[in-house]
Amino acid sequence: MFNQITVIGNICQDIKLSYTQSGVAFLNNAIASSHKYVGNDGKMKEDVCYLNFSIFGKLAENMNQYLHKGSKVFLQGRMIQENYTDKEGKNRTNYKIIVETMKYLDNKPADNNQSGNPYKNVQPSSASVQTESVQQQTPEVNEPAQKGEGFPY
C-alpha cells in the first residue's frame, strides 16, 4: 500500500510547540490550501480546504523557530484517520497529515532587522540550507525505534 499526501498552503494558527513525556517535540496545527477556478456562471471561484497536521521531532522544532501563522509551506506525509465519539455520543471521523517532509515557501525578507521577521535567527545565505536540513531530519521521524519513544503514530 502507498499512503502519501502533498499539500502547499498557509499555516492556519499560531504555532505551539509541545513535548511528549519522553521529550520528543511535536505540534498540531492546520494548513489551508485553495483551488481557484471559473464557475459555470463565468465568475472566479475559490475552494479552500483545511487539513489538520501533526509534526514531530526536529521538523517540529524547525517549524516553531522559523514559521508562523500565515506562512506558506509545503508539507508531505501520510494521511491517518482518527475515529472518536463527540460530546453528543455520535461517532465522528477526522483526517490528519503526519508530516514527514516540509519546505518553507515564503520569500525571506531582505532586511533581517524588520519587526515581525519570521526568519530572525536565519543567516542571510541559508534559505536553501533550511530546506536541505529539514529534509535530512525526515528519516528520524520514520525510524521504527522512535515509535516507542513517544511517537503516537
pLDDT of 68 over the 50 cut: yes
Euclidean distance between CA atoms 81 and 21, whole angstroms = 24
Q: What's the pTM value of the predicted model, to 2 decimals?
A: 0.68
Of 101, 99, 91, 86, residue with least CA distance to 133? 101
DSSP string, 41-61: TS-EEEEEEEEEEEEEHHHHH
Q: Which domains does the chain have, with CATH numbers?
A: 5-147 (2.40.50.140)
pLDDT for position 107:
78
Q: Write the pLDDT tens digit of every residue in 74-104.
A: 999 999 999 999 999 999 999 999 999 999 9
pLDDT tier at 106 (50, 70, 90 boundaries)?
Answer: confident
Write out the H or E segment, with its range, that includes residue 136: helix 127-142
Q: What is the mean pLDDT of the chain?
A: 79
Distance CA 70, CA 97 (A): 18
Local confidence band at 108 (pLDDT 50, 70, 90 cut-offs): low
C-alpha–C-alpha distance, residues 141 and 153, integer Å: 10
The Cα-based distances of 91 to 48, 54, 84, 152 in angstroms read: 25, 22, 6, 21
Classified as helix, coil or strand, 1 is coil
Paired sense of beta strands 72-85 and 44-56, if any: unpaired
Count the neighbouring beta carbons within 10 Å of the beta carbon of residue 30: 15
